[in-house]
Amino acid sequence: MNARQKPARTHLRIKSRTDRLREVREFVSACARDLGFRDDAVHKIALCCDEACTNVIKHAYANAPDRDIDIRVIPGEKEIEIVITHDGTSFDPDEIKSPDMKEYLAHYRRGGLGLHLIRSLMDKVFYRQGNGAKCEVHLVKQLPKS
């Protein structure tokens, strides 16, 4: 297990452009490493944050490039929680069911696996309508037991 320390920075605000996703991955990866996550978990956390931000850009903001996305890391004793906040169109993730992978692969489909991937790789995922018109996506990953 890596040494645990408080992340140097716990908040990032980006504009809703896919060319900013690398910055999101680097920010979240650095925070996860500081909290003691190993590389395999760091990559999963970064991938899930990338997917969640991509969904905000594509769906909540309909690819508008000038909207704000806030990424906040909440370090816990035994977990990391990442909260992605936006003021775009909200949705109910419970209405989106995980795809039948055999059916999906049989038809050579592309895309549409982001939420399934996030649910598979994170320990807890939930969506909350925040204050005012803000929407929050919460991604939680537990530190592995030593």
- Cβ(52)–Cβ(143) under 8 Å? no
Is the pLDDT at 67 greater than 80? The verdict is yes
**Phi and psi at residue 109, in whole multiples of 5°?**
-75, 160
Structure tokens at 137: 């996506």
User: Which residues pair with residue 91 across a beta bridge?
Assistant: none
Range 101-128 average pLDDT: 71
For 42, half-sphere exposure in the C-beta direction (CA atoms, 13 angstrom radius) is 17
Structure tokens at 49: 């944050």
Range 124-143 average pLDDT: 87
pLDDT value at residue 16: 97
Range 2-15 average pLDDT: 84
- Give the span between the Cα atoms of 123 and 110, in whole angstroms: 25
